[in-house]
Amino acid sequence: MEQIFNNLSESLFSDLKKGEEVILSFSGENSQFIRFNNGSVRQTGLVDDAEIELKFISNGRICGGGFTVSGNLDVDLKRGRQEILRMRQESSQIPIDPFLVLPTNSGSSHEVKKSDGLKFENSVDAILPAMAGVDFVGILANGKMFRGNANSVGQKHWFETDSYSLDYSLVTPDHQMVKGSFSGTDWDQKGYEEYVERSKRKLVLMERKPIQMKTGDYRTWFESAAVSDFLGMFSWNGISEASLRQGCSGFGKMRHNDTRLSPKFSIVEDFSPGFCPKFNSDGEVAPNSLALIENGMLKNTLVSSRSAKEYGLSSNYAESGEYLRSPKMSTGTLSHDDVVKTLDKGLFLSNIHYLNWSDNPGGRITGLTRYACFWVEGGEIVAPIETMRFDDSFYRFFGDQLVDVEDSQTVNPEVGTYGGRSLGATTCPGILVDSFSLTL
Amino acid sequence: MKLDVDVKKLLGAVDVPADWVGIREVYEAHTPRMIRDGVPVVNASSATHGIMVEVLVNGQFGYFGTPDMTPSGISKAARSAFKQAEIASKHAVFEFDQSARPAHKGTFTSPFIKDRNSLSAGNLNEILLEAYNHLKVSDKIVSASTLCQVIESNFKFVSSNGSDIHQDFLMFEFDLSATAADGSNQQTRTFGGMRGTCRQMGMEYFDKYEIYANATRIGEQAIELLDADDCPTGEMDLVIAPDQMMLQIHESIGHALEVDRILGDERNYAGWSFVKLEDFGTLKYGSDLMNITFDPTLESEYASYAYDDGGLKATKEHLIKDGVLVRGLGGQESQIRSGLEGVANFRASSWNRAPIDRMANINLEPGSLSFDQLIAEVEYGVYVESNKSWSIDDYRNKFQFGCEYGRLIENGKLTKTLKNPNYRGVSTPFWNSLKGVGNEETFGIYGTPNCGKGEPNQVIRVGHASPACLFDKIQVFGGV
C-alpha cells in the first residue's frame, strides 16, 4: 500500500501547474470481518479497500476530490489526473475561500507497527471454542490499516498497523447481557481465553432476577466504558472551537459564564500511546499532549487551522471536525476493589447506550443503561436492573455531583467500522456520582 | 473517472466450485457543496467504485469486497471468499441454499427532469450563497449555513442462477440552518431537522425563489425561538409534524420490525427488539388509525428502488394494518430463517459491505383530518416540528425526542411559540395513543442519509413519509 501511496502522490504532484497546491490523504485496509450470533458464524468475509482524498488549492479557492484506489497504478493515475483536471476547472467557478489553509512542510514521519496478529484462516477456530456453552454474539475485525498524507510542498506521513478487535456480548436465557471487547496487535490465545472466562463469570451475576427501578435521582458508579461514552459526546457539539463560535456547543456555559466542572475532572488529548496517527487529514502534526479541561476549568478547545484563521487564534492542529482522537482523563483516588462498598446504595452502570444531547446549551445528555448494570445495597450487588432512560447534565455528573474518580484508567479502543475501521482510543477511569437522574 | 465494467464477463472469471456466485458492482459519487457564514466551506466530489463477490459454500455465504475489478482480481477475490465460507460453514448459524438469492432481471432509474449537470458548481454556489443571505435576518444569527449534496449511484447485480439487475439513482440532500444566540442561550432552526430533506429526484428541486423564502422563514424562526417560552412540562396532547414523525416512525417502528434484529444478529450493536416472531399477525402495535407500509414505489422518496441487494423484487406491503402488526422487515435470508413473510429490504451501504435487513421507505398512510381539524381536537397541548435530538433503548421501547420548534395549542388554536420541546414515551403505548391522522394535504416526504446499523457498521439512506398526527396524553417537557 505504501508503494501505491508514494507512486500516486509523486505522479499527481508532478502534474500541477504554477500556483497550484494539493494535499493528498490516503486511507486503506485489508480486513477480515466475521459476524457471530448464537455462538455460530452469521456472516464472514474480507474487504480490501483504499481511497484517496484530494484538496486542490488555486487562486484562493479550494476544491475537494476523491476516488477509490484499485491497486492498478495506470487506473489510479488516470482517476487522479481526471480529478485534478475536474478540480482545476471547478476552481474557476466557485467563490474565494478567505480561510483556506495552504499546505506547509513541517517535516515527515513514518510509523509501521509490525505484529504477530491473528491469521485470517485461523480466526474461527481461535475464537469459537472459548465461547462454547454461552450465547455469544459480536464481530471480529482483523487485519491491516493504513493512513498516509502527502502534500505538494514535500511533506509526507505514513502510518500502518495490524490489529484485531473482538467486540462481543454474552447473553443469558433471560436476555441479560455482558459486554466484552478484546483487542490488540499480537494475538494472545491464552490471554483471550482468560478474558472470555472473566466475561462468563460476570454473566453469572446477570442470572439474578432483574429489578425494575423507579425514576428519580440515584447515587451512581459509572465504569470506564460508560465514562468513555460520555466523553465521546464532547466530540459532537462540545470541545470544538468552531462549535462554540457557531453557537452549538454544550461548552458555552464554561466559555461564557465561567462555569466549572469538578476540580477532580481533568482531560487531555494525548497521542503518546500511538493509538492513532498524530497527523491529521491535512498532514499537520498535533502536540503530544494538550490539556483541555484542567481541574474542572476549560483550558483549551480543539482548534483546527481553518478555525484558527477564521477566528484569529492559534491552531492546535485538530482534525477539521475538531473531535477528540486520543483523549485521556486523569485518575482519582478510588480503588476499583472499593467501588461497590463506597457506592453503598445506588446504581452500578457498566455501559450506557444511544446518547444524545437533550439540551445542548445546558449540557444535558439523555441515553439508556445497557449490559451489566446493577442495583447495589449495603455495599453488595443485589441484582441487575431493567433498562432505564437517564437525562442529566455533564455539568452535574462531571461537576458538583462528582464524588470520586477511579485510581486507574482503562483503554477503551475505538471499534467503529463505518466506511472503514477506525483508529484511536479513549483512556479513562470510572467515576462515582452522588446524584444521577433516571427519567423513564 | 468511472470505469466501464462488464460484470457478466467478471462472473465468468470466477473459478471456484461454489453452489452459487453473485457479483454486485457499486459506483457512487457524492458531490457536497456548503456555504457557512458567507464563505464556501465545501466544494467537493468523491467516488467509490468496487465489487462484492459473494459465494455460497456448504450452506454458508462468504464475501470479498474488492476495488480490483479485473478478471484476475475477481477470480482471486472469489477464491478467498470461498475459503472464508468453507471454514465458517462448519459453524454456520443457518444452512442456506440458492433460494436465498432469487433470480430476477430488471432495471430501475430514478425519476428526474433535470440531470445533475443542469446546474454548474458556480450556479449552485450562487444559490447557496444567496440562501445564506436570506437566513441571516439579524445580527443575532451567529452562524448560518446552506448545504446541497448530489448523489449518483449505479448498481449492477449478476449471479450464477441468472439474476441480471441494473439500477441507477439520482438523489440529493439539502439543508438550510440558522443558529441564533445570546450568550449561552442558543437556538438552531433547520429545513426539516437533521438532514431530513433528502429526495430521489433531479435538479428541478432547486427553485431558488422557494429556497430563499424558506431561508427567510428559518432565520426568522431561529430569532423567534431565542425569546420564546420554554416548553411546558406535563402529560398533554401532542401534534407532531411530518418532519418529526419521520424519526418517530424510524426509531419506534422501523428498527423494531427488522427481522435480523428479532433473530438476534444485532444484539451486540444496534440491539434487539421488543417484537417477537410470534407477534406477527396478533400484536396490536397501535390504534386502529395506524397504517404503516414498506413502500419502495413512492416517486421521489429517498429509498425507492425496484430490487434489493440480494436481487429480490421490491413491492409495496403493509407492515401494520389498522394497528395490527402483519409483516416484518425481513429480506429473503430472514424470511427463510424465521418462516415469516417479509419484504425486499436486504441492503448494503456499498460494495464493501454485505447486505442485511434495512429499512427503505417506511411510511404512515394518510388519514382524513385537515391540519386545522387536528389542532381543533386539542384543548391544551403542544405542536412540534423538526427533530434535533433522538434516543431509544436497545429493545426499541423507551424513546425520547427533542424538536427545534414548538407551538402551544390552547382551546383548539395554535398560540405562542415554544423553545426546547421534548417528549418521551414507550413504543406500543405511544402508538396506541394515536387519535388523529392528518390527510394528504398534511403529508410530507422526508428521509435520512444516516441510518446506522450492522457489524461491520453500515450507514444507509432511508425514506419516511407521513401526515401530521395527534397523540393523546404524552409526557412533554422543556429545557434545563
Q: Is the pLDDT of residue B213 over 90?
A: yes
Contacts of A137 in chain B (CB under 8 A): 264-265, 267-268
- At residue B183 the predicted structure's pLDDT band, cuts being 50, 70 and 90, is confident
Tell whether A51 is within 8 A of chain B (Cβ). yes
Given a contact cutoff of 8 angstroms between Cβ atoms, the answer to whether B420 and B390 are in contact is no
Query: What is the number of alpha carbons within 13 Å of residue B275 lying toward its C-beta?
Result: 31
Chain A residues close to B95, C-beta within 8 Å? none
> Are A48 and B1 an interchain contact pair (Cβ–Cβ within 8 Å)?
no
At residue B197, does pLDDT exceed 80? yes
Residues of A in contact with B353 (CB under 8 A): 47
* Length reported for chain A: 440
| Chain B touched by A59 (CB under 8 Å) | no
Under an 8 A CB cutoff, do A417 and B62 touch?
no
Residue A205 grid cell: 451475576
pLDDT of the residue at A358 = 95
Query: Which CATH number is B106's domain given?
Result: 3.30.2290.10
**Do B343 and B375 sit in the same domain of this protein?**
yes
State the pLDDT at residue B1. Answer: 77
Q: If you measure CA to CA, which chain B residue comes closest to A72?
A: B68
Average pLDDT of A289-313?
98
Check whether residue A109 and residue A8 sit in a common domain. yes
Is the model's pLDDT at B119 over the cut of 80?
yes
* Whether B42 and A64 lie within 8 Å, measured CB to CB: yes
Q: What is the mean pLDDT of residues A58-75?
A: 97
Cell numbers standing for residue A133 = 456453552
Number of structural domains chain A divides into:
2
Phi, psi at residue B318, to the nearest 5°?
A: -75, 130
- Domain of residue B72: give its range: 7-227
Instruction: Assess whether B86 and B36 both reside in one domain.
Output: yes
Instruction: Note whether A117 and A56 are same-domain residues.
Output: yes
Domain assignment present for B90 = yes
Instruction: Based on the fold, state whether residues B16 and B155 are members of the same structural domain.
Output: yes
* Final residue belonging to a domain, choices B227, B256, B290: B227
**Residue A417 and residue B65: Cβ atoms within 8 Å?**
no
Same domain for A266 and A157? no
Facing A256 at nearest CB: one of B48, B183, B394: B183
Overall average pLDDT of the B225-236 stretch: 97
Please state, in angstroms and rounded to a whole number, the distance separating the CA atoms of residues B111 and B139: 41
Pairing of strands A156-171, A109-112: parallel
Using the 3D structure, point to which of B192, B227, B262 is the last residue of a domain: B227
Q: What is the pLDDT of residues B369-379, one digit of tens each?
A: 999 999 999 99
**Last residue of a domain, which of A146, A176, A201?**
A201
Q: What confidence score (pLDDT) does residue B179 get?
A: 97
Q: Which residue of chain A comes nearest to B397, CA vs CA?
A: A387
Q: Is residue B367 part of a domain?
A: yes
Across the range A336-340, mean pLDDT stands at 98
Examine the pLDDT at B125 and tell me if it is beyond 70.
yes
Q: Does the distance separating the beta carbons of B93 and A40 come in below 8 Å? A: yes
Report residue B353 as a C-alpha cell: 459491505
In this structure, is residue B161 part of a structural domain? yes
Question: Among the three residues B201, B227, B253, which one is the final residue of a domain in this structure?
Answer: B227
Average pLDDT over residues A398-416: 97
Peptide bond into B467 cis (omega under 30): no
For A36-62, the pLDDT digits (tens) are 999 999 999 999 999 999 999 999 999
What pLDDT does B403 receive? 98
Residue B450, all three cell numbers = 444516516
Across the range B22-45, mean pLDDT stands at: 98
- Does a structural domain hold residue A394? yes
Q: Does A30 touch chain B (CB under 8 A)?
A: no
**Average of per-residue pLDDT across A232-260:** 94
pLDDT at B479: 84
Q: How many CB atoms lie within 10 A of CB B164?
A: 17
User: Which positions in chain B touch A357 (Cβ < 8 Å)?
Assistant: 389, 402
* pLDDT at res. A332: 98
Q: Do A361 and B424 touch (CB under 8 A)?
A: no
Q: Are residues B220 and B277 in the same domain?
A: no
Q: Are both B146 and B38 inside the same structural domain?
A: yes
Query: Measured between CA atoms, how close is B386 to chain A, in angstroms?
Result: 14
**Which among B203, B201, B204 is positioned nearest to B110, based on CA atoms?**
B201
Rg (CA), chain A: 24
**Dihedral angle over CA of B352, B355, B361, B362, nearest 10:** -130
- Determine, yes or no, domain membership for A206: no
- Domain of residue A120, residue span: 2-201
Q: Which runs of consecutive H residues, i.e. helices, occur in B28-150?
A: 71-88, 121-135
- Do A44 and B84 lie within an 8 Å CB cutoff? yes
Q: Are residues A265 and A390 located together in one domain of the fold?
A: yes
Tell me the pLDDT band of A28, cut-offs 50, 70 and 90.
very high
The answer to whether residue B1 is domain-embedded is no
| B480: confidence class by pLDDT, cuts 50, 70, 90 | low
First to last CA, chain A: 50
Q: Look at residues A148, A173, A201 and tell me which one is the last residue of a structural domain.
A: A201
Average pLDDT, stretch B139-155?
97
- Would you state the pLDDT for residue A6? 97
Whole-number mean pLDDT of chain B?
Answer: 97
Average pLDDT, chain A: 96
pLDDT at residue A208 is higher than 70: yes
Element containing residue A12 per DSSP (H, E): helix A2-14
Pick the residue of B393, B396, B418 with the most A CBs within 10 A to test the interface with A by mutation: B393
- Residue among B177, B265, B305 nearest B456 (CA): B265
Same domain flag for B220 and B245 = no
Burial of A260 (0-12, 13-18, 19+ CB in 10 A): middle
In a domain, A209, yes or no: no
Portion of chain A with pLDDT greater than 70, in percent = 100
Whether the CA torsion B223, B229, B233, B235 is positive or negative: it is negative
B177 lies in the same domain as B267: no
State how far residue B370 is from chain A, nearest Cα, in angstroms.
31
Q: What is the pLDDT of residue A276?
A: 93
pLDDT band, very low/low/confident/very high, at B195 (cuts 50, 70, 90): confident
| DSSP-derived secondary structure for A161-199 | EEEEEEEEEEE-TTS-EEEEEEEESS--HHHHHHHHHHH
The Cα of A248 is separated from the nearest Cα of chain B by a number of Å equal to 7
- Predicted local distance difference test score (pLDDT) of residue B8: 97
